[in-house]
Amino acid sequence: MSKEIEFLKGVDKLHAFYTENVRMLAHAYDLEDEEAAQLLGRYDYRNVSRSILRPPRVDPLGQIIGDQPQQSDSDEDSQGS
């Protein structure tokens, strides 16, 4: 059962990253999240059209939220010495 749970966790992370990339693409085209969701829904992209309206679950340029605690600069400095 463990491999199935890990698989589902991996799919969840991929979906979260995909959603945030779609959100960034919408913003690049000057679309608000609501406008993008309506447009995506009209073309049967239902999962991402719903997900884009929820708060972001990942930082596509950083760490996965809740996956690992972020280190402060002072923590990193103390580990390097």
Coil, helix or strand at residue 64:
strand
pTM over 0.75: no
- Whether 33 and 49 have beta carbons less than 8 Å apart is answered as no
- The predicted structure's pLDDT at residue 43: 97
Token duo for residue 41: 């829904």
- Asked whether residue 80 is assigned to any structural domain, the reply reads no
The pLDDT confidence band at residue 35, using thresholds 50, 70 and 90, is very high
- Asked whether residue 46 is assigned to any structural domain, the reply reads yes
Helix runs in the chain, H state only: 2-28, 33-42, 46-51, 73-80
- Asked whether residue 18 is assigned to any structural domain, the reply reads yes
How confident is the model over 36-63, as pLDDT tens digits? 999 999 999 999 999 999 988 777 666 5
CA 3 to chain centre: 22
Domains: count for the chain: 1
| Backbone Cα Rg of the chain | 17
Q: State which residues form the domain around 32.
A: 2-67
